[in-house]
């Protein structure tokens, strides 16, 4: 026997040693099975072999050195296995080798030294391994080579100049190889090149001269390559180019006019560079262009005419473009996606898009468009319409709410007015309607209840009046309802009980009266988000600043999904109900500015996840419980000010390690503050400490300097005595200091005014010795009245008050409380005006009740600063105010995700760059700073087109903030739950693209990066989609930064139910094979449209994997697939093959599952079935 082909038979087990007895074999093909074992014997016995292929199996260990004895071997393939170690030097003996494929393994070390002896080699594929070291110069001796695939790998150094000797080379692929230095000019000698990929490297400098001589190129990808300078005009000589990707580099200057000759161009990407100048009119010569992306540059001028018949997508977001959109834009008759957001376009669009018959996505937000919104937009096949942050005026066209295709409408922050139009119920696909911050008035139309599939309705910041219409509760799919900052009256209808999926309700800043109904918690009883397709945030119940009265109902305990409960600024009375302790998910509780009474002790707060507790401006009395800090160990902000609390400040409060804001001012607290021990244990994160206007005594301890992060210290109007601690001089973060009107004496430490950031200091009303402002070298930042011989005017010394005077002041406080109440009413009205006119925000902030935060916002010149690390630049400083501004103080309105590791906020940094900011949960047990920083540096170096890149990170006390690239289309989970419209947006071809891309990303983590990374929580919500539905795997590496986990699986990090592989329950150890299982579940979600767990899968044991197996055993394979998918011949074949892959990934035995590199290979073959690549 000379020929043996057993490929594609799903064979498993060990390759039998008896195979070595077939010594006459010339060809052995064992690929695409599940074989493993030792091939050394075959290599020793069958020395006449010419073809040996055992790719796509389960072989592992080292490559047998005996392969070097097969001197007649012409084809050697062992790709997509789990081989590790180095390539044996004996491979260099195979001088007859023509085709060598070792890709998709776990090979390490340097390339063997004898590579240059393989002079007959035509194909060499070493991609997707972990090779290190420099590329050997001997590669230049492979003079017959046609295809050279070397990336991704972990090489170092530069491309050797000897590569210029490979004059026959047609494909040169070196992406993600960590290569540095300049691209050698010898590359211009490769005249036969058709495909060149140098992306995701760290090159420097410009393209070498002569690059334009590669005239046969049709595929040129140089994204994320670190290149600078002007884009060379000689690239215009490459007239066969179909794909040119120069995105994410540092190119500057205009686009070369020579590009007008690129008449074969299909895809052109130069986004995220520093290009400027006009968008050239010669782009209209690109008759074959389908995809053009120019976003995130500095292009200016007007948009040229683009009469391109095949153009389907044009993106130019975040530039400096101006003028009007050309009236002939619709002559690009195939145009479906147009995105021009974050520019300076102006003019009306009254007739602009009338003829765009294929337009599905129109994204024009953050420009200067004005005039009416044309009604014909509702007659186009639009799925997404984004016109927010412009100057559109007039009425909202009724046609938009009657469109049969539209899914998302964003018209926030415009000048729209009049009454809201009614709906005729035809808009069955509409899911999200956001009309915030306009001038709509009148009542909310009852016909809005006909939008039966609406999940998100936001009308915040308008002039809407009247009662909340009962018909709105016919929208039973609502998960988010925001009617805040309007003029609504009446009570909260009991019909709210119909919104069983509601997880976000905002009715704040209205004139709603009555009591809080028991029925309000019907929709907040599921801690798990039931349908997350569009929801930005969930778990918010905000009824603040209304006229609600009565007690907080005991039924509040049923709102178990609530994370933020905001009831401040009402007329609520009675005691704080102990039922609040049942809200185990609660993170923020704000009951301030009410008439609540009773003691803190009776409330028995034990909400261990609570981060914000604001009870100020009530009538609470009695002591603060001694064990307060132990009851709520996760608190970040605690405000108990303006109550009638007595007793001492408990030591346990200073044991709350996460606490940053502490305000106990304006109470009747007494005693000393003696808990600030020399160790400073647990209090280093405190930023603001306000204990003013109490009756504290004793000295201010020297150990107060242990509050190393403290920015604001306000102890004025107390009875502190002794000297001002000299350790204050070492508190370099201090920006505000007020110790006025105490009994302090002796000398003032002069170094205190050398604190660079100190912007306000008040020492008046004390008895300091021989101290004047001239006695120290005060900086200009040291402001205030330094008259130390008598109290400041308007600040009587507390020590001079006798008991009678104290009671007199208490009486005045009661009178002032009445005045405060009416002031609050007036403040509410100003808030409504503010919502309608955002430009008045700065003015209105002065009206708010006094709080600790105002000390930062009003009186500080330079806010607290923290460090941010990025991976494209060195460390730079960014103020705390900048981060708070970007997220509006981590406002819920910026939240776009909330997962196991933390909350994700959408934010705009400098130059309008959109990023996703992940604030890690404070309750997590992080590594130490050094280990955390090292881990971040490692994760930050993980760069792959199918992974969401980490752009930067921030470490501040126990705060951990990560900055990621923003993904416009959210997560795969969100789209899979869209049901009806998923059929359009997630057709099978898109789902297949997601399968392959996500597999590539996970494969790179497992096999293409050193050290290898186990994801640990692979699921559909961790696959994000950019604006073109290209998938990116997210949250990789996060589990590594939690201390004591390593590969061990804890209850917090074991993954997500439905995705957890069965072996984790026994081994408690995370593995790459565990990731493969989880990925298989994602594949099943894509194929079936079902969730991983749920009642639908009851017949299969309650999970998706078992349900698919049960359906297959019943002969119902065709019923497994998502019914919304069209199953034509080719697509059905691909779906069936993909189902096989998913089943392989979810095999119970880990050893029988394929590796991710095998999965990638399988999906490439599936994609080829219809010739798509």
Catalytic residues: 1017
3-state DSSP assignment of residue 938: helix
State the SS3 of 9-48: CCCEEECCHHHHHCCCCCEEECCCCEEECCCHHHHHHCCC
Distances in Å between the Cα of 742 and the Cα atoms of 770, 790, 800, 809 are 17, 11, 10, 18
State the SS3 of 1044-1102: CCCCECCCCCCCCCCCCCCCHHHHCECCHHHHHHHHHHHHHHHHHCCCCECHHHHHHCC
Query: Residues 235, 212: contact at Cβ < 8 Å?
Result: yes
712 pairs with which residues across the strands?
688, 736
Nearest to 373 by CA among 422, 333, 322, 409: 409
Q: State the alpha helices, DSSP H only, in 46-167.
A: none
CA 365 to chain centre: 21
Query: Residues 699, 724: contact at Cβ < 8 Å?
Result: no
- Whether residue 918 is annotated as binding a ligand: the answer is yes
DSSP state of 368: E
Burial of 754 by CB count in 10 Å (0-12 exposed, 13-18 middle, 19+ buried)?
A: middle
DSSP state of 888: T
Whether the CA torsion 471, 475, 479, 482 is positive or negative: it is: negative
Helices 1156-1168 and 1072-1088 cross at an angle (nearest 10°) of 30
Whether the CA torsion 819, 820, 823, 828 is positive or negative: it is: negative
Distances in Å between the Cα of 119 and the Cα atoms of 50, 126, 141, 146, 163 are 16, 17, 7, 12, 14
Query: Residues 77, 103: contact at Cβ < 8 Å?
Result: no
Neighbours of 727 (CB within 10 A): 15
Distances in Å between the Cα of 811 and the Cα atoms of 159, 328, 804, 816 are 82, 74, 11, 9
- Residue 652 and residue 675: Cα distance in Å, rounded? 9
Q: Which value, to the nearest 10 degrees, does the dihedral of the CA atoms of residues 492, 497, 501, 506 take? A: 10
Nearest to 1090 by CA among 992, 969, 989, 973: 973
Nearest to 1163 by CA among 1003, 975, 986, 984: 1003
3-state DSSP assignment of residue 173: strand
Q: How big is the CA angle at 1113 (ends 1112 and 1115), to the nearest 5 degrees?
A: 65
Strands 487-488 and 513-514: unpaired
DSSP state of 609: T
Burial of 802 by CB count in 10 Å (0-12 exposed, 13-18 middle, 19+ buried)?
A: exposed
Whether the CA torsion 1162, 1168, 1169, 1170 is positive or negative: it is: positive
Read off φ and ψ for residue 474, nearest 5 degrees.
-75, -15
- Residue 25 and residue 34: Cα distance in Å, rounded? 22
3-state DSSP assignment of residue 1022: helix
Nearest to 269 by CA among 239, 296, 236: 296
- Residue 107 and residue 88: Cα distance in Å, rounded? 11
| Binding residue ranges for ATP | 918
């Amino acid at each position: 026997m000379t020929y043996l082909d057993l490929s594609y038979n799903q064979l498993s087990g060990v390759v039998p040693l008896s195979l070595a007895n077939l010594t006459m074999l010339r060809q052995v093909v064992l690929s695409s099975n599940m074989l493993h074992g030792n091939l050394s014997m075959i290599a020793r016995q069958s020395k006449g072999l010419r073809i040996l292929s055992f790719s796509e199996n389960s072989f592992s260990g080292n490559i047998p050195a005996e392969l070097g004895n097969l001197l007649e071997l012409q084809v050697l393939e062992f790709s997509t296995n789990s081989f590790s170690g180095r390539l044996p030097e004996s491979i260099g003996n195979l001088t007859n080798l023509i085709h060598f494929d070792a890709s998709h393994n776990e090979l390490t070390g340097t390339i063997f030294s004898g590579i240059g002896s393989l002079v007959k080699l035509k194909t060499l594929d070493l991609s997707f391994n972990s090779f290190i070291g420099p590329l050997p110069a001997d590669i230049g001796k492979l003079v017959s080579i046609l295809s050279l695939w070397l990336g991704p790998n972990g090489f170092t150094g530069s491309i050797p100049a000897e590569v210029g000797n490979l004059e026959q080379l047609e494909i040169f692929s070196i992406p993600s190889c960590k290569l540095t230095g300049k691209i050698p000019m010898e590359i211009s000698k490769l005249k036969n090149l058709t495909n060149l990929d140098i992306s995701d490297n760290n090159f420097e400098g410009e393209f070498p001269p002569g690059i334009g001589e590669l005239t046969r190129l049709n595929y040129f990808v140089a994204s994320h390559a670190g290149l600078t300078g002007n884009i060379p005009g000689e690239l215009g000589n490459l007239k066969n180019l179909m794909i040119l990707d120069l995105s994410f580099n540092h190119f500057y200057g205009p686009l070369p006019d020579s590009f007008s000759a690129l008449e074969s161009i299909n895809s052109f990407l130069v986004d995220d560079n520093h290009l400027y100048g006009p968008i050239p009119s010669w782009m209209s010569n690109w008759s074959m262009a389908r995809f053009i992306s120019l976003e995130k540059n500095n292009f200016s001028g007007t948009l040229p005419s683009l009469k391109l018949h095949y153009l389907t997508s044009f993106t130019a977001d975040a530039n400096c473009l101006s003028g009007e959109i050309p009236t002939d834009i619709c002559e690009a008759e195939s145009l479906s996606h147009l995105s021009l957001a974050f520019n300076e376009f102006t003019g009306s669009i009254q007739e602009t898009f009338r003829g765009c018959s294929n337009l599905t996505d129109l994204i024009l937000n953050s420009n200067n468009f004005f005039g009416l919104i044309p009604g014909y937009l509702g007659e186009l096949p639009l799925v997404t319409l984004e016109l927010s942050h412009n100057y559109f005026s007039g009425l909202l066209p009724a046609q938009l709410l009657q469109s049969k295709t539209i899914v998302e409408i964003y018209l926030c922050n415009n000048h729209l007015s009049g009454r809201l139009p009614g709906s005729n119920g035809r808009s069955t696909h509409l899911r999200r309607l956001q009309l915030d911050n306009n001038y709509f008035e009148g009542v909310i139309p009852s016909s809005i209840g006909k939008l039966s599939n609406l999940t998100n309705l936001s009308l915040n910041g308008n002039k809407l009046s009247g009662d909340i219409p009962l018909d709105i509760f016919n929208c039973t799919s609502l998960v988010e309802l925001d009617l805040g900052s309007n003029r609504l009256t009446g009570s909260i209808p009991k019909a709210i009980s119909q919104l069983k999926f509601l997880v976000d309700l905002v009715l704040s800043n209205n004139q709603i009266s009555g009591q809080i109904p028991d029925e309000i918690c019907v929709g907040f009883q599921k801690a798990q988000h039931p349908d997350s397709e569009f929801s930005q945030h969930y778990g918010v119940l905000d009824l603040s600043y209304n006229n609600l009265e009565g007690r907080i109902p005991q039924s509040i305990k049923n709102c178990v999904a609530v994370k933020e409960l905001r009831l401040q600024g009402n007329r609520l009375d009675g005691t704080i109900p102990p039922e609040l302790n049942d809200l185990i998910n609660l993170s923020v509780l704000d009951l301030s500015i009410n008439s609540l009474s009773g003691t803190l002790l009776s409330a028995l707060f034990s909400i261990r996840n609570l981060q914000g507790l604001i009870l100020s401006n009530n009538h609470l009395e009695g002591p603060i419980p001694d064990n307060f800090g132990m009851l709520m160990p996760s608190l970040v902000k605690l405000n108990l000010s303006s109550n009638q609390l007595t007793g001492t400040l408990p030591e346990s409060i200073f044991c709350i390690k996460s606490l940053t804001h502490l305000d106990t001012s304006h109470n009747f607290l007494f005693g000393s503050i003696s808990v600030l021990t020399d160790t400073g244990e647990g209090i280093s994160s405190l930023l603001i400490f306000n204990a003013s206007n109490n009756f504290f005594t004793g000295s201010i301890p020297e150990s107060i300097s242990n509050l190393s992060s403290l920015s604001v210290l306000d102890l004025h109007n107390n009875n502190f005595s002794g000297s001002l601690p000299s350790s204050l001089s070492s508190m370099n973060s201090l920006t505000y200091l007020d110790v006025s009107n105490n009994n302090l004496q002796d000398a003032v430490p002069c170094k205190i005014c050398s604190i660079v950031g100190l912007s306000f200091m008040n020492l008046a009303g004390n008895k300091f010795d021989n101290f004047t402002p001239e006695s120290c070298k005060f900086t200009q930042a040291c402001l205030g009245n330094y008259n130390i011989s008598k109290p400041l005017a308007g600040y009587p010394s507390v020590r001079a008050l006798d008991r009678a005077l104290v009671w007199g002041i208490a009486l005045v406080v009661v009178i002032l409380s009445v005045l405060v109440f009416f002031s609050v009413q007036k403040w509410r009205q100003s808030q409504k005006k503010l919502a309608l006119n955002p430009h008045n925000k700065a003015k209105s902030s002065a009206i708010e009740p006094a709080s600790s935060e105002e000390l930062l916002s009003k009186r500080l010149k330079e806010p607290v600063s923290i460090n941010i690390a990025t991976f494209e630049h060195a460390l730079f400083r960014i103020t705390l105010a900048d981060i708070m501004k970007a997220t509006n103080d981590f406002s819920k309105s910026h939240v776009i995700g909330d997962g196991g590791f933390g909350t994700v906020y959408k934010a705009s940094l400098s130059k309008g760059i959109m990023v996703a900011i992940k604030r890690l949960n404070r309750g997590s047990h992080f590594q130490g700073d050094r280990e955390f920083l090292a881990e971040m540096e490692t994760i930050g170096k993980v760069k792959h087109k199918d992974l969401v890149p980490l752009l930067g990170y921030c470490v501040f006390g126990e705060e951990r903030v990560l900055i990621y690239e923003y993904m416009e289309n959210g997560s795969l989970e969100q789209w899979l739950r869209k049901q009806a419209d998923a059929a359009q947006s997630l057709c099978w071809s898109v789902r297949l693209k997601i399968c392959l891309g996500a597999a590539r990303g996970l494969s790179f983590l497992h096999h293409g990066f050193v050290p290898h990374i186990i994801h640990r929580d692979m699921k559909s919500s961790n696959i994000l989609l950019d604006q073109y539905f290209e998938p990116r795997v997210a949250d990789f590496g996060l589990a590594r930064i939690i201390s004591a986990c390593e590969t061990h699986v804890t209850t917090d990090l074991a993954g997500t139910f439905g995705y957890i592989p069965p072996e984790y329950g026994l081994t408690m150890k995370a593995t790459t094979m565990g990731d493969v299982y989880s990925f298989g579940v994602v594949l099943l979600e894509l194929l079936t449209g079902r969730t991983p767990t749920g009642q639908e899968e009851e017949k299969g044991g309650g999970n998706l994997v078992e349900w698919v197996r049960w359906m297959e055993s019943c002969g119902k394979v065709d019923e497994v697939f998502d019914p919304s998918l069209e199953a034509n011949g080719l697509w059905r074949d691909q779906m069936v093959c993909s189902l096989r892959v998913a089943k392989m990934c979810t095999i119970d035995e880990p050893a029988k599952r394929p590796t991710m590199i095998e999965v990638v290979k399988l999906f490439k073959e599936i994609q080829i079935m219809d010739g798509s690549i």
